[in-house]
Amino acid sequence: MWIFKASNGKLSSSVQKKFLFLWEQAFGRKMSSHLLKWKYQLPPFGAQMMLAYDMEGNLCGHFGGQVFEALWQGKTYLITHLTDAMIHPAWQKKGLYPELVKKFFLYFAENSQFFYGYPGLYHFKVGKKRGFFRPFNQGVAYFESTSSISKKKFLRRYFYSFRALEVRDLKQVSECCKKLSYYMPILKRSKEFLFWRFMRHPENTYFMYGLFSFSGKLKGFVSVKKNKEELIIVDLVPSLEEEETDILLQETLSLFPYKRYQLWISKNILYFVKIKYLKSYHEPLGIYPCAVSHPYVEDKLMSWREMFYTMADADIF
């Protein structure tokens, strides 16, 4: 009934056209060819895709995502962020989706330590019912502020500098991640990842800043995206010293005098640092970060469901 083909993201022009058509049929909106290339051809550590065709050669399903490096207790692993799981409307509720997932994990289960995604509520309920989705243990924390930020006088502020990241600074971001990795798994913000995620995106513009010690050592990192009169903190790698995180956030928010600030971050980091200047609210978009389970990878899920994450781990913003 179906023909399944695995891919590392290097799609021919004809397959790209079929993928974009399927995406439009499944989600009711269009994806640009530039975004498709960014998602699956440009990630520095590759992609994993399982494509399903009907007997006439029409693309009718996809399950896959991007491969990233992650750190856990100082060691580097490969993990997969699953995106664009979709079935053509004509083939929905006909058994294709579970078969597609099975084929994907048969082919790729040994290639990554962990598989995760950010489904919305509907797809989360479907995946959970089928046993595919396991929510992260701590869930997502959402913070927002609509008030202007005034600079509090920290006695130690003058021992730090806050500035835009330069290319020579990028390697230090992964060192900040390594420190956090002894407490929880974390996606490694390597130089290659940062280039791909924040500097090569075809549709979004990001601004990366860091808090540096007097000696030039990076203490914390943020990446932000302007959205009309809003500022979205897409990524935050905090210092485990709370005052340093305070200064980092305060400098970031005071630099951009916007009407609204937003931050999504995993709740487990709140055991170590407090998010000041932003208030905690109910998550507004219905985002459900979760592990993607299957019998082939079930034994790997336990510790990785404690992963630290922000919106940089996904492709939503």
User: pLDDT, tens digit, for every residue of 251-261?
Assistant: 999 898 888 99
Is 8 part of a structural domain of the chain?
yes
Q: How high does pLDDT run on average in the chain?
A: 91
Please report, rounded to a whole number, the percentage of residues in the chain having pLDDT higher than 90: 70
The answer to whether residue 155 scores a pLDDT higher than 50 is no
Task: Mark whether 173 and 277 lie in a shared domain.
Answer: yes
The answer to whether residue 95 scores a pLDDT higher than 70 is yes
Is 202 part of a structural domain of the chain?
yes
The candidate with the shortest Cα–Cα distance to 289, out of 134, 127, 86, is: 134
Q: Which residues of 66-91 are buried (b: 16+ CB within 10 A; e: fewer)?
A: bbbbbbbeeeebebbbbbbbbbbeeb
pLDDT of residue 132: 78
Condensed to tens digits (0 to 9), the pLDDT of residues 182-220 reads 999 999 999 999 999 999 999 999 999 999 999 999 999
Task: Average the pLDDT over 31-60 and give the result.
Answer: 97
The answer to whether residue 151 scores a pLDDT higher than 60 is no
pLDDT of residue 148: 61
Task: Mark whether 261 and 196 lie in a shared domain.
Answer: yes
Task: Mark whether 156 and 97 lie in a shared domain.
Answer: no
pLDDT of residue 123: 77
Is 295 part of a structural domain of the chain?
no
- List of residues 6+ apart from 275 with CB closer than 8 A: 141, 143, 249, 263, 265
The answer to whether residue 134 scores a pLDDT higher than 90 is no
Measured CA angle at 280 (ends 152, 163), to 5 deg: 40
Is 310 part of a structural domain of the chain?
no
Paired tokens of 214 = 């007097």
The answer to whether residue 149 scores a pLDDT higher than 80 is no
Task: Mark whether 102 and 37 lie in a shared domain.
Answer: yes
pLDDT of residue 130: 76
Is residue 81 within 8 Å of residue 49, measured between CB atoms?
no
pLDDT of residue 159: 84
Neighbours of 22 (CB within 10 A): 23
Alpha-carbon distance of 204 to 226, in angstroms, equals 9
Task: Mark whether 76 and 163 lie in a shared domain.
Answer: no
Alpha-carbon distance of 100 to 63, in angstroms, equals 7
pLDDT of residue 301: 61
The answer to whether residue 156 scores a pLDDT higher than 70 is no
For the entire predicted model, the pTM comes to 0.93
Is 129 part of a structural domain of the chain?
no
Residue 62 lies in domain: 2-112
pLDDT of residue 137: 78
Task: Mark whether 212 and 262 lie in a shared domain.
Answer: yes
Is 314 part of a structural domain of the chain?
no
Is 288 part of a structural domain of the chain?
no
User: Per the structure, how many domains does the chain have?
Assistant: 2
Task: Mark whether 151 and 104 lie in a shared domain.
Answer: no
Q: Are strands 230-237 and 290-292 parallel, antiparallel or unpaired?
A: unpaired
Paired tokens of 49 = 């895709």
Condensed to tens digits (0 to 9), the pLDDT of residues 272-300 reads 998 888 899 999 998 889 888 776 666 66
CATH number, domain of 46, equals 3.40.630.30
